[in-house]
Amino acid sequence: MAKLEIIKLPDPLLREISAPVEQVDSNINQLFDDMLDTMYAAPGIGLAAIQVAVPKRMVVIDIADDPEKRNPLCMVNPKIVKRSDILRPYEEGCLSLPDVLVDIERPDTVTIEYIDRQGKQQTLEADDILATAIQHEVDHLDGKLIIDFLSRLKRDIIVRRFKKQARQTA
């Protein structure tokens, strides 16, 4: 297993829509393993393949606080099919936008359909932080970032800061 590089804003790849995965095979499962290693090392609770510069509709999530109780969720082609009307605010961070936290109101529960690591179709009902993490990662697959929930002024300030940092490290 390998730790991959997480791309950061202003990388334009973060704004691309990820392509569906045609078949779950050993390469996909290896990428899942590498994504999990990367997510745990970061540390984070979710990671989309696009964040490691792979524009495929794949996400990994693990909301366990304790490394001894890890329970990773690996999803291929996740699709949210139902969202509750009840909204809940969470302060969200993103591995592709270090040190940025955004308060976002999202549906408290979601139902998601996806393909698991064995290539089997699954349906999952999620609530609370898991529902938030799923919505956050699916947003990544559609080229959407947490800063898109901010006003244009606040978003532009953050984008300028990341562009400046990228120029300084280039």
Q: Which helix (H) or strand (E) holds 155?
A: helix 152-169
What would you measure as the largest C-alpha separation in the chain, in angstroms?
45
User: HSE on the CB side for 94, CA within 13 Å?
Assistant: 28
Per DSSP (E only), the strands in 86-140 are 87-94, 97-107, 109-115, 121-127
Cα-to-chain-centroid distance, residue 27: 20
The question of whether 92 is a catalytic residue gets the answer: no
Do the beta carbons of residue 7 and residue 18 sit within 8 Å? Answer: no
Catalytic residue among 5, 68, 92, 137: 137
Distance CA 93, CA 112 (A): 22
Active site residues: 137
